[in-house]
Chains A and B, each alone.
Chain A
Amino acid sequence: MLYRRRELDLPNGNLDTPVLFPVRNLGKRSSDNTPTYVGDIPDFSSAIINARSIRNRDPMWNRLTNGVTLREEMDVPEDTIVFADSGGFDFTSGEVDTTPKETLETQRQLNADIYGTVDVPLSRKNRAAENQDRIEQSIQFALEASDHHDGDSLLLASVHGYDPETIRNNIQHLEKYGDFHGYALGSLVPIRTDYEKVTSLVLAARKATEKHLHVYGLGGLVYQPLLLYLGVDSFDSSAFIRAAGNRNYLIPGFGGEELQNIEEMERLPCPCPICGQRTLDDIRQDRTALTQHNLWALATELRRFRYVAESERDIENYLDLRFRGNEVTQRAYKTAKQQIRRLV
Chain B
Amino acid sequence: MNNSFTISDEQQNYTQYNLQANPFPYSPVPAEDPEIFCGQQHVAEQISSTVSSVLATGKSKHLVVTGKYGNGKSHTLKYTRSLLRDRDDVVVGYVAQPGEGFLDIYHEFMYDLGFNRIQELAYNWLASVARDVTDANPMGAESMRSLIDEGDVLLSDIVPEAIRKLSDITRFADFARAIVHMVYEDTNLYAWQWLTAEGIRYEQRKEMEIHSALDDDTMGVRAFTALKNLLLDLGYTSVFVFVDEFESIARLNSKNEQATLNSIRHLMDQNSSGLCVLFGCAPEVWQDVMSEYHAFSERIGQEVALRPLTSEHLYELVADYLNRERDEPNGEAPIHPFTEESLDMILQRSQGNVRQVLALCSRVLDTAIEDEREVITEEFVQESM
A interface vs B, CB < 8 Å? Answer: 127-129, 132-133, 135-136, 139, 163-166, 168-177, 197, 200
Contacts and interface: CB of A to CB of B under 8 A. Distances in A.
Contact of B155 (A127, A169, A175): A169
A342 to B, nearest CB: 13
A163 B187 contact: yes
A176 B156 contact: no
A165 B154 contact: no
A132 B151 contact: no
B159 interface: yes
B150 A139 contact: no
Given A128-B209, A132-B159, A173 B186 contact: no
Please give me the 9 A-B residue pairs with the lowest Cβ-Cβ distance, nearest first. Answer: A172-B151, A173-B151, A136-B156, A135-B156, A132-B156, A163-B186, A169-B155, A163-B184, A132-B160
A171 B151 CA distance: 7
A139 B186 contact: no
- Residue in A132, A171, A175 with the greatest tally of chain B CB atoms within 10 Å: A132
- Residue in B149, B184, B186 with the greatest tally of chain A CB atoms within 10 Å: B186
A280 to B, nearest CB: 43
Nearest to A204: B185
Interface string B30-42: 0000000000000
A334 B88 CA distance: 43
A176 B150 contact: yes
A165 B183 CA distance: 8
Nearest to A176: B151
B154 A163 contact: no
B269 interface: no
Contact of B154 (A173, A175, A197): A173
5 contacts: A132-B156, A136-B154, A165-B155, A165-B183, A200-B186
Nearest to A129: B160
Contact of B186 (A129, A169, A174, A197): A197
A194 B69 CA distance: 55
Q: Decide if the interface of chain B is mainly helix, strand, loop or mixed.
A: loop
B295 interface: no
Q: Decide if the interface of chain A is mainly helix, strand, loop or mixed.
A: helix
B250 interface: no
Nearest to A131: B156
Contacts, number: 60
B148 interface: yes
Given A132-B160, A136-B157, A176 B183 contact: no
A170 B186 contact: no
B341 interface: no
Contacts of A174: 151
A164 B156 contact: no
B151 A165 contact: no
Nearest to A128: B209
B152 interface: yes
Contact of B151 (A127, A135, A136, A169): A169
A177 B157 CA distance: 15
Contacts of A166: 155-156, 184
A136 B161 CA distance: 13
Interface in B118-176: 148-157, 159-160, 163
- Residue in B154, B157, B159, B183 with the greatest tally of chain A CB atoms within 10 Å: B154
Contacts of A168: 149, 151
Contacts of A132: 155-156, 159-160
Contacts of B152: 172-173, 176
A173 B134 CA distance: 14
Contacts of A169: 148-149, 151, 153-155
A174 B150 CA distance: 10
Contacts of A197: 186
A170 B151 contact: yes
Contact of A170 (B150, B154, B159, B184): B154
